[in-house]
Structure 1
Amino acid sequence: MSEQLLAHGLLAFFSHIAAAFVLLALFIVIYIRITPYREIALIREGNIAAAASLSGALLGYCTALASAIANSVSVIDMSFWGLVALVIQLLAFGIARLLIPGIVSDIPANKIASGIFLGALSLGLGMINAACMTY
């Protein structure tokens, strides 16, 4: 492999991973701000429901973001689809609130079923989101 191709590949890798880390951090900040409970504090206290719901949200977003990376033609294209994925993944919380209105009190109360449901809904939506990005 020529040095020029190697340099181009490394530049593409680092630009994509840097953008992905920024998008992931943005997702986490927005997600924990739209939920009316403090996931990180709850997780530190051993709340399984909070851990399951936040883990599912992160895995769902990362699944969609990975698809955006794999199918993009540039870092700008990847960032655009990463933002689309971010919005779709945030909708998962809204959908869960519609389906289970008490979920905002269930998670802090460590009702594990609600946490697993929210996490699974987020992961499932992330998988659908990812599949829709394979254009």
Structure 2
Amino acid sequence: MLETLALLWETLTSGLPILLLHFFITLALLVLGIVIYALITPFRERELIKQSNAAAGLTLGGAWIALAIPLAATLATSGVWLDIVLWGSVAVLMQLLTFGVFTLLFRDLRTAIESGNVAAAALLVGVQVAVALLNAGAMVG
């Protein structure tokens, strides 16, 4: 019994620092992705959310999820922190490009979101999550 506990303790103390490092690197990539997303959107979600604009809340919440999905896949399949930084950055870039292409195809997105058009926000989130799932699948290989 004591040997088992000692082995578990050794595993925890050797693995926990690596787990935390990988988690916080991935979390930093997620936050960085959201900051960049907020900078490139043609509307200000935080201000719109303060005004109870559901479409803005949906798009920002969807962006968090869409960025997290491929980052989670990268975190799950990468063994070293540098790999997480590299492929996590690629994942974030792919998701930001998805948003950029969407805004080029749907020119009235700003007006739609600012006016609270939840249907437009749902479409954007759907596209972002669909690409995120494909992105995650590609990351897993």
TM-score (norm 2): 0.90
For the residue of structure 2 that corresponds to 1:110, the secondary structure is coil
Tell me which of 107, 111, 121 is aligned to 2:117. 111
Tell me which of 14, 21, 26 is aligned to 1:15. 21
Tell me which of 55, 74, 77 is aligned to 1:71. 77
- Give the letter for the 1:100 counterpart: F
Which deviations, in whole Å up to 9, do the C-alpha atoms of 1:63-98 show, x marking residues without a partner? 100000001021110111110011000012112113
Q: Percent identity?
A: 34
For the residue of structure 1 that corresponds to 2:114, the secondary structure is coil
Match of 1:27 in 2: 33
- Give the letter for the 1:41 counterpart: E
Match of 1:95 in 2: 101
TM-score (norm 1): 0.93
Match of 2:137 in 1: 131
Q: Distance in 2 between matches of 1:121 and 1:2?
A: 43
- Give the letter for the 1:27 counterpart: G
Please provide the CA RMSD for this pair: 1.2
* Structure 1 residue 56 corresponds to structure 2 residue 68: no
Q: Which structure has greater helix proportion?
A: 2
How many residues are aligned here?
135
For the residue of structure 1 that corresponds to 2:59, the secondary structure is helix
